[in-house]
């Protein structure tokens, strides 16, 4: 089972994504993609690790190259988030020629190892603002990745004001 959860900033998507795995048995893996920069980021990560640990999650940090990650078979995985992963892959020293393909290859690899996979992403590109070339390229790549994940997902939800709205499939 693969579920994509999308939405804007502070809309409740992370909490909803975690709740989708509440009744799952271990191993429950929180696959974190945010690279920590600075003391504030490290403090936030430590705080979030503790919160997730109380929910039965083991945190695995993998900032790039998901296709190289080996997880316990039949894991229940929460991947957070595609926005960070895309930035990490695009702006690394040696980016893949086709960043979207590279990211999707990693997601398919994780999916093969997982009993269930919940993926959190951000909605981008709908604000109507014209951005500089590099930011626009990022928006295009993450939009492409989001579309491709939505195609393979069993269910897609958009969180709006802490309300999950089903866009594809329904998880009971």
Q: What is the CATH number of the domain that holds 43?
A: 3.40.50.300
Compute the distance between CA of residue 67 and CA of residue 65 in angstroms, rounded to an integer.
5
User: What's the pTM value of the predicted model, to 2 decimals?
Assistant: 0.92
Confidence of residue 36 (pLDDT cuts 50, 70, 90): confident
Segment 53-68 shows an average pLDDT of 91
Tokens at 39, concatenated: 């003391």
Segment 96-107 shows an average pLDDT of 96
Nearest CA-CA partner of 86 in 122, 45, 125: 122
When comparing pLDDT for 149 and 49, which is higher? 149
The confidence score (pLDDT) of residue 114 equals 95
Segment 104-116 shows an average pLDDT of 96
What residues make up the domain containing 53? Answer: 2-168
Computed over every residue of the chain, the mean pLDDT equals: 91
Tokens at 55, concatenated: 């929910």
Nearest CA-CA partner of 138 in 100, 105, 93: 100
Cα 15 to chain centroid, rounded: 13
Nearest CA-CA partner of 1 in 170, 99, 118, 168: 118
Compute the distance between CA of residue 31 and CA of residue 39 in angstroms, rounded to an integer.
21
Total structural domains within the chain = 1
Cα distances (Å, whole numbers) of residue 107 to 4, 23, 115, 139? 12, 23, 13, 19
27: preceding bond cis by omega (within 30 degrees): yes
């Amino acid at each position: 089972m693969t579920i994509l959860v999308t939405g804007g900033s502070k809309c409740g998507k992370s909490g909803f994504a975690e709740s989708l795995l509440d009744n799952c048995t271990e191993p429950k893996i929180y696959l974190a993609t945010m690279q920590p920069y600075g003391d504030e980021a490290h403090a936030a990560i430590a705080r979030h690790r503790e919160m997730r640990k109380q929910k039965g999650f083991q945190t695995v940090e993998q900032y790039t190259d998901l296709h190289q990650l080996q997880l316990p078979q039949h894991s229940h995985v929460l991947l957070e988030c595609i926005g960070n992963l895309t930035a990490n892959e695009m702006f690394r020293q040696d980016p893949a020629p086709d960043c979207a393909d590279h990211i999707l290859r990693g997601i398919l690899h994780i999916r093969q190892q997982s009993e269930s996979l919940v993926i959190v992403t951000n909605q981008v590109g709908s604000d109507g603002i014209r951005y500089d070339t590099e930011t626009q390229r990022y928006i295009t790549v993450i939009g492409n990745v989001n579309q491709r994940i939505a195609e393979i997902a069993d269910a897609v939800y958009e969180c709006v004001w802490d309300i999950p709205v089903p866009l594809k499939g329904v998880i009971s």
